[in-house]
Structure 1
């Protein structure tokens, strides 16, 4: 992410009524990737993918699409709310739907719900009920109309957050007066990889083989270099429709890999928007018949991994003299390097090797414009004496609630001893 700009006013998570001209994602949107060969299904190739059924004027799928596109608004005030939560692995998204009597503008208007936690690895079978608390709402790009997506977190019937509920602790940190006063901004760069279904090999790669070396694929165009653009573009528009603060997208260094950026976001909003955007991406790849992976190193060898670089700034960092505040934050981050690494995503050791634009997982480092460091500071930040820092350590499968709140805690609430601070400053050549 090139720079952190002012955050949108949407961060309060309120929903406005959808435009009457807006339409949900349907299979019509996939016309550019639909394969037609005399109405016969073409075999899966390394460079193309298809929707699961061929569309024809009188086909069952065409009649089904008509029902999916029904606008029920003239006939009922009821809406469909898709309740979304994080499953037992800490990275899987689950969801189910319920009817709500009328359109809503705020999650407080929605009822709590429950699910079977024994089926998601979050509760024992003999006491399996887990309660969903609605926390943020977004417009539903799949159903359209006044229908919504609802980001929830999970609690026991007694009201205690379950272990996989990382949002609860993040909300506590972001509600601390010291954190609120510093208005923490985040810009998160979510990388992901698209895989061919069945073979689980990157999109655009010969099955069981390899493409040419990295170099031509980053931000590229062309059928021999760019694989999955329709998915990236569909996701981009769907996020804008939903009210997610998505700020850009691009093809990544490894073929079949993409990135999108969310932010600037304030506080807990960053995690809500990333999880909503991940859910939408899962649904789009489901429709396209492509597998999404957030594995930080999906292909071993001389290929880039997938990260989730997190750009971060506070009010003091953005004001005059902010570079000194940034350096103090870097000092604190260096002293808690192991704590951050342990919370920055499973399998991250396969990615943070010191190669492919990463720092070594065991060594903390920082630098100006250096993508091989743990923390990168931009040239403009150095020049202007204020700005933001980029934490390049988080893996693509990190939990954004954990990463964003840990950055705020380490830089705003945690205080090292004077001895540790002096030693770290000397080691990092920091003058604070």
Structure 2
């Protein structure tokens, strides 16, 4: 018997929150399988996901990792929310991404990675950013070292260790442009047998966000993912590639994809809610090493830090691979 922490996304708007609850399950800790974690339910009326008399929503496990917060062999179980009859729930961005992949995107073997900004906020609701000196540039804090430059390094460090212990594809972390702002990265690490596919990495980012919130909870602070103002709003940066972009004519494929994204001419009919619209950003980048190698990936920096990675990935894949109207649901909840 093991502890299983069931983690899911609620119906909060404009940005979804994370919920969890615990149960004991008869899973062999030495050879766990996803099918051994049973489906579960929760009261959707209390999470913004149900109304009226039928308030139960279903939790279906979609992946699991080792729970690094508990001693011994226990697990974090990420779940997708479904209606009681097993149909897709309107709050599920994961369902949107599955639909886009099934309708033509998956054959292009898309990979994704994320750079997640966040801000550490103390009990009084103030962040270390409030200690920034007048007229001091954010350049002083970027990758900064020292108590006068950063706040919350112990949180970033503990979070990194927990992600690694859980087996997530954690790439690294760094201080950003205010004392309390940090970034961590999830995605491809050029290691054998690692899976950088869209669903897998989006699942991992949500689990990494969960672990970050738990670290902050233990230390008596909170984490803010909101895309605040300033010269550089907090962002969720996405690195995206396809088998074509990683191939011999990769740079050409990247430039063609960026032209589609900038023109907005392909995915607008797919019915996927746009996770970038609230951020007010319009920024793409081809890294220098990609230009030199002539293949690789591009970076999309349009999204606010609280964006849903499932919908972000679904929107990119739908626009780049021209997934048609058949993938859409006109009543999707805006993330």
Q: TM-score of the superposition, structure 1-length normalised?
A: 0.68
Are positions 1:158 and 2:85 aligned together? yes
Tell me the alpha carbon deviations over residues 81-100 of structure 1, each in whole angstroms, 9 at most, x when there is no partner: 00010011142000000100
Work out the number of aligned pairs and report it. 311
Gaps of 5+ in 1: 1-77, 353-358, 360-373, 416-432
Task: Spell out the pairing of 1:120-269 with structure 2 (5 A cutoff).
Answer: 120-176=47-103, 178-198=104-124, 200-203=125-128, 205-206=130-131, 212-264=136-188, 265-269=196-200
Task: Spell out the pairing of 1:5-404 with structure 2 (5 A cutoff).
Answer: 78-89=1-12, 90-103=15-28, 105-176=32-103, 178-198=104-124, 200-203=125-128, 205-206=130-131, 212-264=136-188, 265-297=196-228, 300-301=229-230, 303-336=231-264, 343-345=274-276, 347-349=278-280, 352=281, 359=282, 374-404=283-313
- Decide whether aligned partners of structure 1 residues 345 and 181 sit closer, same or farther in structure 2, where only a CA change above 3 A counts: closer
> Comparing both structures, which one devotes a greater share of its residues to strand?
2
- Decide whether aligned partners of structure 1 residues 274 and 400 sit closer, same or farther in structure 2, where only a CA change above 3 A counts: same
- C-alpha distance in structure 1 between counterparts of 2:320 and 2:277, whole Å: 23
Asked if structure 1 preserves the Cα contact closer than 8 Å seen for 2:225 and 2:305, the reply is: yes
- C-alpha distance in structure 1 between counterparts of 2:199 and 2:251, whole Å: 25
Q: Secondary structure at the match of 2:236?
A: coil
Asked if structure 2 preserves the Cα contact closer than 8 Å seen for 1:345 and 1:396, the reply is: no
Asked if structure 1 preserves the Cα contact closer than 8 Å seen for 2:100 and 2:323, the reply is: no
Q: Secondary structure at the match of 2:88?
A: coil
Gaps of 5+ in 2: 189-195, 325-335
- Decide whether aligned partners of structure 1 residues 250 and 206 sit closer, same or farther in structure 2, where only a CA change above 3 A counts: closer
Asked if structure 2 preserves the Cα contact closer than 8 Å seen for 1:245 and 1:263, the reply is: yes
Q: Secondary structure at the match of 2:59?
A: strand
Q: TM-score of the superposition, structure 2-length normalised?
A: 0.87
- Residue 134 of structure 1 deviates from its aligned partner by 0.3
Asked if structure 1 preserves the Cα contact closer than 8 Å seen for 2:276 and 2:312, the reply is: no
Runs of 4+ in 1 over 4 A off after TM superposition: 337-342
Provide the aligned C-alpha RMSD in A.
2.3
- C-alpha distance in structure 1 between counterparts of 2:210 and 2:70, whole Å: 14
Tell me the alpha carbon deviations over residues 292-319 of structure 1, each in whole angstroms, 9 at most, x when there is no partner: 000101xx44x43100110011111111
- Residue 110 of structure 1 deviates from its aligned partner by 1.2
Asked if structure 2 preserves the Cα contact closer than 8 Å seen for 1:205 and 1:211, the reply is: no
- C-alpha distance in structure 2 between counterparts of 1:86 and 1:96, whole Å: 12
Deviates more, 1:405-414 or 1:140-149: 405-414
Asked if structure 2 preserves the Cα contact closer than 8 Å seen for 1:170 and 1:405, the reply is: yes
- C-alpha distance in structure 1 between counterparts of 2:276 and 2:264, whole Å: 16
Asked if structure 2 preserves the Cα contact closer than 8 Å seen for 1:88 and 1:120, the reply is: yes
- Decide whether aligned partners of structure 1 residues 206 and 388 sit closer, same or farther in structure 2, where only a CA change above 3 A counts: closer
Asked if structure 1 preserves the Cα contact closer than 8 Å seen for 2:129 and 2:181, the reply is: no
Tell me the alpha carbon deviations over residues 130-181 of structure 1, each in whole angstroms, 9 at most, x when there is no partner: 00000010110111322100110111111111111111121222244x4333
- Decide whether aligned partners of structure 1 residues 277 and 211 sit closer, same or farther in structure 2, where only a CA change above 3 A counts: farther
Instruction: Give the structure, 1 or 2, with the largest relative contact order (CA under 8 Å, sep 6 or more).
Output: 2
- C-alpha distance in structure 1 between counterparts of 2:179 and 2:206, whole Å: 24
